[in-house]
């Protein structure tokens, strides 16, 4: 195998290479606003924004928080910040006042770029609630106890915003910046500078700022896009949020690396995505498993024109095998790949390849990317044999610099030998294919028996009428924990707790059969599509209490050797 050579490039260098190679090809298409920019037009906007940021005082190494939905300006500021040596902080558009304050305070961010309104939300109102001083102080001179580092605000909206520079004003101010000063800033950026900070999604609690370097995300995008065989002829549909690593790195940056067209969608909504794929003749589509499922089960899916699709990425959550096969067969995405990783890994560790056998493409998360070591390690920190479960760890160019201003948390995540610990349970076969079994912290321990939620979930998804399922541990005085399951069922399906248990009896071990069940409309998720199991645990008491009122005392379950056990909800 040819040895992998890390390419030591900055985002600005990668961007400029595609502009030079494909100046007149489409770079960004945004159906929502009608924008169609060539690489040359995008480049002009990037340079104007970069010089504008310099004009209002943004220095090298300073942090710029970008709080905006998927829009062409998001791409502009991603590369404008990189070109002047600033660090882009991607901000979740679902953040409310408290969360925004936390991010601004914890990061020490100096500049905030925001979009005034999105999807029925007024981001300006949330901003001014979080930082009320912005309504009173002159632009560029902000001082707030809620965000001590924040000095400047830039608005991407059409109208003016209190205390903020508008985008036209920013671009006008940038014209006064000498070309030589701009070039000096661009040349000063190095591949090993931190260029991006992404706050972890919060599936397990409080978010941390993950510091990513140019070299990490550039080479990750390079490898992932290479496994998709991306070229300048591809048109990639991106309904995934750009503030998340999948959208920012695997989507935007991979497209920039290979000169592919970015077709930006505002949301995951099935109909706009189906329409964009057909109208724009997209060749690739990205999404989380729940998104693909919503498309496949939409009543308009039979009218979906998807003949141009050939590849794409499914990531962000575990993909059930049945769903993967349906996406490949019914949507024509025979070349779709699964990516596995985490923000701290820039983000992809492993990926299936388009030429992998179908069985491995649907049952594993693929092999490590070039230049990344992946190791399955036991509790003692030593590598376990092939086929054995352990924690998935990785080492390589992709590992984050660390968590911003959190040295203890960084030391917990990256050990002395440079291994990043993911917290995921997995195993690797002799050919290097990795299978993910769940989160270490999600493991259910019932009376001394270890139960993998993923194993129970995979089995329950084979039950007719079940669209999706999430399994958690429910506290039990007698056993420590019991198995609880939240189900999303097909419309019209009549699924009772007893029917679920009957489906399980004799097919999975008796102690793995859910003792608590609830049918829900949807699972609590992060904006990137990850199920928030800690919120399911919070929901368990009320959901399962409601079940108790409806179904009464649960029937006894048979244990080994005919012994009978009985618990209450």
Quote the pLDDT of residue 220: 98
The confidence band for 34, taking pLDDT boundaries of 50, 70 and 90, is very high
CATH assignment, 443-565: 3.30.300.30
Delimit the domains of the chain by residue range: 11-424, 443-565
Please state the pTM of the whole predicted model: 0.84
Q: Which of 47-56, 93-102, 301-310, 379-388 has the lowest mean pLDDT?
A: 93-102
The confidence band for 178, taking pLDDT boundaries of 50, 70 and 90, is very high
Quote the pLDDT of residue 319: 80
- Tokens representing 29 are 């298409």
Quote the pLDDT of residue 507: 85
Cβ-contact 550, 542 below 8 angstroms: no
The confidence band for 120, taking pLDDT boundaries of 50, 70 and 90, is low
pLDDT digit string, tens, across residues 440-450: 888 888 876 77
Q: Which of 309-313, 405-409, 458-462, 564-568 has the lowest mean pLDDT?
A: 564-568
Q: What is the DSSP letter of 251?
A: I
Question: Per-residue pLDDT for 564 more than 70?
Answer: no
Q: What are phi and psi of 436, to 5 degrees?
A: -100, 130
State percent of the chain over pLDDT 70: 93
Quote the pLDDT of residue 543: 77
Which ranges of 414-553 would DSSP assign to H, the alpha helix?
453-460, 497-504, 533-551
Order of all β-strands in the sheet with 152-155? 165-166, 152-155, 111-114, 63-67, 87-90, 194-199, 209-213, 402-403
Q: Which of 66-80, 263-277, 310-324 has the lowest mean pLDDT?
A: 310-324
Question: Per-residue pLDDT for 93 more than 50?
Answer: yes
- Give the helix/strand (H/E) hosting 256: helix 254-258
Quote the pLDDT of residue 96: 83
Q: Please state, rounded to an integer, the average pLDDT across all residues of the chain.
A: 90
The confidence band for 18, taking pLDDT boundaries of 50, 70 and 90, is very high
The two domains 11-424 and 443-565 share their CATH topology (first three levels equal): no
Q: Is the peptide bond before 106 cis (omega within 30 degrees of 0)?
A: no
pLDDT digit string, tens, across residues 224-242: 999 999 999 999 999 999 9
Over residues 24-49, the mean pLDDT reads 97
Distance of alpha carbon 373 from alpha carbon 350, whole angstroms? 10
The confidence band for 118, taking pLDDT boundaries of 50, 70 and 90, is low
Domain range 11-424, CATH architecture? 3-Layer(aba) Sandwich (3.40)
End-to-end CA distance of the chain: 56
The confidence band for 555, taking pLDDT boundaries of 50, 70 and 90, is very low
Quote the pLDDT of residue 390: 95
The confidence band for 206, taking pLDDT boundaries of 50, 70 and 90, is low
pLDDT digit string, tens, across residues 394-440: 999 999 999 999 999 999 999 999 999 999 999 999 999 999 888 88
Order of all β-strands in the sheet with 348-351? 35-38, 26-30, 261-264, 235-238, 284-287, 311-314, 335-341, 348-351, 367-368
Question: Per-residue pLDDT for 216 more than 60?
Answer: yes
Quote the pLDDT of residue 552: 31
């Amino acid at each position: 195998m040819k040895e992998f050579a890390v390419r030591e490039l900055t985002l600005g260098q990668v961007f400029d290479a595609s502009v030079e190679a494909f100046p007149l090809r489409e770079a960004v298409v945004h159906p929502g606003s009608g924008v169609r920019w060539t690489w040359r037009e995008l480049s002009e906007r990037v340079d104007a924004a970069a010089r504008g940021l310099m004009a209002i005082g943004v220095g090298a190494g300073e942090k710029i928080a970008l709080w905006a939905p998927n829009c062409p300006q998001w791409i502009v500021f991603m590369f404008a910040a990189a070109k002047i040596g600033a660090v882009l902080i991607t901000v979740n558009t679902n953040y409310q006042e408290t969360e925004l304050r936390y991010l601004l305070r914890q990061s020490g961010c100096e500049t905030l770029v925001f979009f005034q309104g999105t999807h029925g939300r007024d981001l300006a109102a949330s901003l001014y609630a979080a930082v009320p001083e912005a309504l009173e102080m002159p632009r560029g001179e902000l001082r707030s106890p809620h965000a001590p580092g924040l000095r400047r605000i830039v608005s991407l909206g059409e109208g003016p915003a209190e205390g903020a520079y508008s985008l036209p004003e920013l671009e006008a101010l940038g014209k006064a910046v000498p070309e030589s000063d701009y070039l000096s800033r661009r040349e000063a950026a190095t591949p090993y500078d931190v260029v991006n900070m992404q706050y972890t999604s919060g599936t397990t609690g409080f978010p941390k700022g993950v510091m990513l370097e140019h070299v990490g995300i550039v080479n990750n995008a390079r490898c992932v896009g290479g496994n998709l065989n991306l070229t300048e002829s591809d048109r990639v549909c991106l309904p995934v949020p750009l503030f998340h690593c999948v959208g920012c790195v695997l989507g935007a940056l991979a497209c920039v690396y290979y000169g592919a067209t970015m077709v930006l969608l505002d949301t995951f909504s099935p109909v706009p995505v189906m329409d964009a794929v057909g109208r724009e003749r997209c060749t690739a589509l990205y999404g989380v498993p729940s998104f693909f499922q919503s498309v496949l089960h939409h009543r308009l899916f039979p009218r979906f024109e998807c003949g141009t699709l050939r590849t794409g990425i499914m990531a962000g959550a575990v993909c059930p095998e049945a769903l993967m096969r349906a996406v490949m067969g019914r949507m024509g995405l025979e070349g779709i790949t699964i990516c596995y990783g985490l923000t701290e890994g820039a983000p992809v560790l492993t990926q299936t390849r388009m030429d992998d056998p179908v069985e491995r493409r649907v049952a594993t998360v693929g092999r490590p990317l070039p230049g990344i070591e992946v190791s399955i390690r036991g509790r003692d920190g030593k590598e376990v044999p092939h086929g054995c479960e352990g924690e998935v760890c990785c080492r390589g160019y992709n590992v984050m610099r660390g968590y911003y201003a959190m040295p203890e948390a960084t030391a917990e995540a990256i050990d002395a030998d440079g291994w990043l610990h993911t917290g995921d349970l997995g195993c690797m076969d002799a050919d290097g294919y990795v299978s993910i079994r769940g989160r270490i912290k999600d493991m259910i321990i019932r009376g001394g028996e270890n139960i993998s939620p993923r194993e129970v979930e995979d089995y329950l998804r084979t039950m007719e009428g079940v669209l999706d399922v999430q399994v958690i541990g429910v506290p039990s005085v007698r056993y420590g924990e019991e198995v609880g399951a939240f189900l999303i069922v097909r419309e019209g399906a009549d699924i009772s707790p007893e029917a679920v248990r009957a489906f399980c009896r004799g097919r999975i071990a008796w102690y793995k059969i859910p003792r608590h069940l609830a049918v829900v409309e949807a699972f609590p998720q992060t904006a990137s599509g990850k199920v928030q199991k800690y919120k399911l645990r919070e929901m368990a008491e009320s959901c399962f209490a409601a079940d108790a009122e409806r179904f009464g005392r649960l029937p006894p379950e048979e244990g080994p050797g005919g012994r009978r056990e009985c618990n209450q909800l």
